[in-house]
Amino acid sequence: MRVFASAVSAAFFVVASSAGAQQLAPSPTLDAIKARGHIECGVHLGLPGFSFANDKGEWTGLDVDYCKSLAAAVLGDATKVKFTPTSVQQRWAVLQSGQVDLLSRNTTITFSRNATLGVNFQGINFYEGQTFVVRTKAKVAAVKDLADATICVAAGSTEEKMAADWFRERNLKVTIINFQKNDDAISAYDQGRCDAYTAGIGALAGQRIKFKNPEEHQILSEIISNDPQGPVTRWGDERWQLIVRWVLNGTIAAEALGVTSKNVDEMKAKSANSEVRRLLGVEGKFGEMMGISNDWMFNAIKQVGNYGESYERTVGMGSPLKLPRGANQLWTKGGLLFTPPFQ
């Protein structure tokens, strides 16, 4: 009996693996998305530049843009995505219980989350990291220039520990002033009691424009901690994970290859670069290999833009936040953004 069972399963395995060469792996998530006609995307409740509702009530921001790109790639229409705002407390449960297809909400990628929460991180769309905001007239270019400065922090925060460690390791003397609450530390800095205030670079960008005179402050682009963030999916359904990962890669590749929402039609018609041609579905059948249209990245770039366009519009120079690219620049231009080739 047992011999028979193992023979059957062996036969099944052979059939299944040979079929896999031509057929797509099943993807319940993608099937569900196609059936319901939209993607369910979990975003942050409200984070300036990353995810917020504008005056018209439309969700906007860098993390929101990624989900729009995904909708354009999967369903051909960037508007076919619905956003579920998620709080810090509920984000994992919302993803695990299947209420959303993915999270795109400023969540730091860590080993323990990846290993224990049943979630996978599908790349990095923002290199968050701790840095400092200082007055422009103080002429501080790098973090080490802050030696002998006073820094305002919230007592007991990770930022306090991180900053203290960084300066101690380098034998630089700084005065750290502790405040009970983060808001107190911020207003103390704004009132001039300290030379610098420290937080994540994205948070600082939102904070800077709250200061009395935002143009008098600058955010250092050097970061002293490493908190990469990106889209998150559930374990299982590898084909859906593949799509989530490669749409993000595609938006970065598009910027590296010089494909923008403005020139994408021309690039598709005329480009001789075979990587551009594969990205836009002229050569190869990259979309079909994942079970979606070969126009996937064409639609995403045409409707939402490449990573750089999205960045500048939401958190960069085209937005009130005016956050420089810093680490979120292409690897060819001194940043950390990198994508494997479309081959």
90 binds other proteins (CB under 8 A): yes
Q: Decide if residue 54 touches other proteins (CB under 8 A).
A: yes
> If binding is defined by CB under 8 A, does position 48 make contact with other proteins?
yes
3-state secondary structure at position 89:
coil
User: Which of 256, 283, 285 shows the shortest CA–CA distance to 271?
Assistant: 283
d(CA 305, CA 292): 19
Q: Cβ of residue 212: shortest distance to other proteins, in angstroms?
A: 10
Nearer to other proteins, 41 or 280 (CB): 41
Q: Establish if 49 lies at the interface with other proteins (CB under 8 A).
A: yes
Tell me, what DSSP letter sits at residue 97?
A: T
CB of 17 or CB of 89, closer to other proteins: 89
- Dist. CA 206–CA 52, nearest whole Å: 12
Interatomic CA distance for residues 213 and 202, integer angstroms: 19
- Angle, alpha carbons 215-220-222 (nearest 5°): 160
Strands, DSSP E only, in 46-101?
A: 52-53, 59-60, 81-86
- In the list 47, 172, 224, 336, the residue contacting other proteins (rule: CB under 8 A) is 47
200 makes contact with other proteins (CB under 8 A):
no
The answer to the question of residue 306 lying near other proteins (CB under 8 A) is: no
The CA distance from 15 to 107, in Å, is: 40
User: What is the pairing mode between strands 196-200 and 150-154?
Assistant: parallel
Total interface residues for other proteins by CB under 8 A: 30
Instruction: Give me the residues paired with residue 103 across strands.
Output: 42, 232
**Are the CB atoms for 328 and 127 separated by under 8 Å?**
yes
Tokens 């923002």 correspond to what residue? Answer: 126
Should residue 79 be labelled a site residue for other proteins when binding is judged by CB under 8 A? no
Q: Does 203 help bind other proteins (rule: CB under 8 A)?
A: no
| Of 295, 291, 273, nearest in space to 72 by CA | 295
Does residue 96 belong to the site contacting other proteins (CB under 8 A)? Answer: yes
Among positions 41, 52, 127, 287, the unique one binding other proteins when judged by CB under 8 A: 52
How far, CA to CA in Å, does 193 sit from each of 131, 138, 188, 247, 291?
Answer: 18, 14, 5, 46, 58
Min dist. Cβ of residue 94 to other proteins (A): 7
CB of residue 53 vs other proteins: minimum separation in angstroms? 6
Task: Decide if residue 45 touches other proteins (CB under 8 A).
Answer: yes
Q: Is 99 in the site for other proteins (CB under 8 A)?
A: yes
Angle of helix 62-75 versus helix 296-303 axis, rounded to 10: 140
The stretch among 64-72, 131-139, 191-199, 314-322 that binds other proteins (CB under 8 A) is 314-322
192 binds other proteins (CB under 8 A): no
Residue 320 sits in the site that holds other proteins (CB under 8 A)? yes
Given a contact cutoff of 8 angstroms between Cβ atoms, the answer to whether 91 and 105 are in contact is yes
Contact 228, 124 (CB under 8 A): yes
Q: Does 291 bind other proteins (CB under 8 A)?
A: no
Specify the stretch interacting with other proteins by CB under 8 A; choose among 5-13, 43-51, 142-150, 302-310.
Answer: 43-51
User: Which helix (H) or strand (E) is 321 found in, with range?
Assistant: none
- Mark 204-233 with x for binding to other proteins (rule: CB under 8 A) and - for no binding: --x--xx-----------------------
**Using CB under 8 A, which of 57, 112, 213, 270 touches other proteins?**
57
With CB under 8 A as the contact rule, which of the stretches 85-93, 163-171, 268-276, 287-295 interacts with other proteins?
Answer: 85-93
Beta partners for residue 227, in sequence order: 128
Which one, 17 or 54, has the nearer CB to other proteins?
A: 54
The smaller minimum CB distance to other proteins, of residues 94 and 279, is found at: 94
Q: Where do contacts with other proteins occur on this chain (CB under 8 A)?
A: 45-49, 51-55, 57, 82, 84-87, 89-90, 93-94, 96-99, 206, 209-210, 319-321
